[in-house]
Amino acid sequence: MRRFAVVLVLAALVALLVTRAEPLAPSVTLETPVDFVGRATPLRIVARDRGSGLAHVEVRLVPEGGQPVVVASEDYPRRSWLGSGVHETVLAPTLDAGAAHAREGRAQLEIWASDHSWLAAFRREPRLRRAVTVDVTPPLLEVMPGEHVARVGGSECAVYRVGPDAVRSGVQVGDEFFPGVAGYFADSGLRVAVFALPQHEPDARPAVLAADAAGNARTVNMGVRVTPRRFAEKTMPVSDDFLSRKVPELLAANNLDQSGDLVEGYLRINRELRAATEVRVRQACRDSAPTPLWQDAFLRLPNSAPLSGFADRRSYVHDGKTIDQQTHLGFDLASLRGSPVPAANAGRVVFAGPLGIYGNAVIIDHGLGVFSLYGHLSEIGVTAGAQVGRGDTIGKTGDTGLAAGDHLHFSMMIHGVHVDPVEWWDAHWMQDHVEMRLAEYPRAASGGP
């Protein structure tokens, strides 16, 4: 009996040693690439322990020649004699080196992790160490002098200077960001940004933003005098003949659900396909030439009459009932059936083909984020990648897509945000709001057309 008791005691001691003196230390994985630590540096850390469970995880910054600074920590208390029971956890702290008073310069990012083992006290090294640079100073940002006046739905151009540590800069207007372009001016610190005053954010005011690799950002309000605007309200009759001609065709061509009646199908097109079309437009406008490709003011379809204007608030009426409301993002211009459509200005074709509600369409990049769109074409005469000159024929007017009759849908866009084409058709407006600003400072050897 005594021997059995001794065996039980020895077994208990062995179990205790196995569970409380586990030799394996916790493991740590840093899933976020990090070279700089600033005032808002996000991390994603996965800590694991197979034995007694995690007890403590800590993130430290150790400046070169300085004292460690704890910037994030988490405790996992013991829940039983076996440990915490936490065998894996994800930490997603946002480090603020400024609030932690960490010294700027080279440093080590250390991640420490301990478990509930008796051996934890003897582990004196961090589980992970990464060389980083602590930077809590925002980059230099100076908006160059000049008066800015713009209309809601219009465009404007900003010139500003950033410090050499800026990796991202541009103009923020509400939820829309318009990136600045480097290399146009001889001064390597100068940037130019063409931006929109979005018609869907009438109260937004432009501010120039610059950020460095550590995420430190500086913002300067531009003080743009924005003229408010009331857009036209239009009633658009939707006939049964139009529905029977267009709805089945567009549903099939765009792989949309064809169930329900014609009105339901029309609403699917006017809402879902319209939104999906604008997503594709944004994608086509992601990349733009770093210099202006245009020459002089933009051309309008010759001998044409406007059917609809920019940002018209449309109400769609069927059988005397309003069935939908949408905003028209361009100009509808009517001329003779099948009229040749000229490129509004020189540029590079970035899209040519079927484009949702716009039917057969062409999108041209004119540089500095300025794009033009031509919709409802009966014929397309260019291909993506082609260089076109101002006035070159790119297709013919038609009624493809969600068009009731032969016309051209024409849009101007800044980085995919639709703006009023009337400004870009106006040589005086272009001179005062764009060309004059581009001419204020010496160009780089390769800047401009």
CATH topology assigned to domain 233-415: Glucose Permease (Domain IIA) (2.70.70)
- Identify the CATH assignment for 26-134 out of 2.50.20.10, 3.20.20.70, 2.60.40.10, 3.10.100.10: 2.60.40.10
Q: With 80 as the cut, is the pLDDT of residue 318 above it? A: yes
Top-level class of domain 141-227: mainly beta
Q: Please tell me the distance from the alpha carbon of residue 60 to that of residue 73, in angstroms, as a whole number.
A: 9
Instruction: Please give the model's pTM, rounded to 2 decimal places.
Output: 0.86
Which of 312 and 82 is assigned the larger pLDDT? 312
Tokens of 297: 């003011």
Residues 6 or more apart from 233 whose CB is under 8 A from it?
312, 313, 314, 315
The pLDDT tens digits of the residues spanning 106-120 come to 999 999 898 887 665
Among residues 352, 353, 347, which one has the least CA distance to residue 387? Answer: 347
- Please check whether residue 365 is in contact with residue 371, taking contact to mean a CB–CB distance below 8 angstroms: yes
The pLDDT tens digits of the residues spanning 384-422 come to 999 999 999 999 999 999 999 999 999 999 999 999 999
Which of 304 and 127 is assigned the larger pLDDT? 304
Burial (CB count <10 Å: 0-12, 13-18, 19+), residue 19: middle
**Where does the chain hold its CATH 2.60.40.10 domain(s)?**
26-134, 141-227
Q: Please tell me the distance from the alpha carbon of residue 398 to that of residue 331, in angstroms, as a whole number.
A: 15
Residues facing 73 on adjacent strands: 58
The identity of residue 365, as a single letter, is D
The pLDDT tens digits of the residues spanning 121-164 come to 666 678 899 999 999 999 999 999 988 999 999 999 999 999 99
The pLDDT tens digits of the residues spanning 190-245 come to 999 999 999 999 999 999 999 999 989 999 999 999 999 999 999 999 999 999 99
The pLDDT tens digits of the residues spanning 368-380 come to 999 999 999 999 9
Residues 6 or more apart from 1 whose CB is under 8 A from it?
none
Mean pLDDT in the chain?
92
Residue with tokens 């866009």: 413
The pLDDT tens digits of the residues spanning 64-81 come to 888 888 888 999 998 776
Q: How many CB atoms neighbour CB 258 within 10 A? A: 12
Provide the pLDDT for residue 23: 65
Q: With 60 as the cut, is the pLDDT of residue 6 above it? A: no
Q: Please tell me the distance from the alpha carbon of residue 153 to that of residue 200, in angstroms, as a whole number.
A: 8
Q: Please tell me the distance from the alpha carbon of residue 60 to that of residue 63, in angstroms, as a whole number.
A: 10
